[in-house]
């Protein structure tokens, strides 16, 4: 009932994406994929009526996501790709982006240091040049959110981050 009301409210507000965080205890794994298929398919079917896309924010592997997507079999089911969260997986975050391809429907631009802590953009382990090169390869034209530490002067940091990413977008357009 809560999700139905939320989806109706999203439609009324003209919001097109519902992001479901699926990390930690909520992480989709090969051993629990069946239990997620039923619930996610139900959510996707209901939200499809309202033209709302369902995105999972997860460190799921491209292979497991492909299985999940195939079993859910809904055109409005996608992945939110978080650069910082994916940076510490055993997989290659740049290759993963290519593997997910058109299934990526929103991106959190985040950087982390070698201790897996959020840091200022372009001071950690994420190579945003590689990210944007690969976004060009998959013809990504969807939305981004910058998730960054604020620093001592949040407005100055925000402007700097915005300028940095605008330049990357222009370069790889």
Between 171 and 57, name the one with better pLDDT.
57
15 is written with which tokens? 């919001």
Inter-residue contact 64 to 33 (CB < 8 Å):
yes
pLDDT tens-digit readout, 78-116? 999 999 999 988 678 899 999 999 999 999 999 999 999
Check whether 65 has a pLDDT greater than 80: yes
Least confident window among 16-20, 22-26, 54-58, 155-159: 22-26
Pairing of strands 118-119, 111-112: antiparallel
Question: CA 47 to CA 44: how far, in whole Å?
Answer: 5
Inter-residue contact 76 to 113 (CB < 8 Å):
no
Which pLDDT score is estimated for 59?
92
The set of residues, in sequence order, having a beta carbon less than 8 Å from that of 172 and lying 6+ positions away, is 132, 133, 135, 136
Which pLDDT score is estimated for 6?
96
Check whether 143 has a pLDDT greater than 90: yes
User: Packing angle between helix 154-171 and helix 128-137, nearest 10 degrees?
Assistant: 40
Which pLDDT score is estimated for 13?
98
């Amino acid at each position: 009932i809560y999700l139905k009301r939320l989806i109706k409210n999203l439609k009324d507000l003209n919001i097109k994406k519902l992001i479901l965080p699926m990390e930690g205890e909520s992480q989709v794994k090969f051993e629990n994929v069946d239990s997620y298929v039923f619930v996610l398919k139900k959510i996707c079917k209901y939200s499809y009526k309202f033209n709302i896309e369902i995105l999972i924010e997860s460190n799921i592997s491209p292979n497991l996501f492909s299985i999940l997507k195939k079993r859910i079999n809904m055109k409005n089911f996608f992945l939110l790709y978080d650069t910082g969260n994916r940076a510490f997986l055993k997989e290659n975050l740049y290759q993963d982006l290519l593997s997910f391809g058109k299934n990526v429907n929103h991106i959190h631009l985040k950087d982390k240091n070698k201790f897996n802590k959020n840091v200022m953009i372009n001071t950690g382990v994420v190579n945003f040049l590689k990210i944007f090169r690969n976004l060009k390869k998959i013809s990504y034209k969807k939305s981004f959110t910058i998730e960054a530490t604020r620093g001592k002067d949040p407005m100055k940091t925000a402007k700097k981050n915005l300028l940095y990413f605008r330049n990357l977008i222009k370069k790889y357009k």
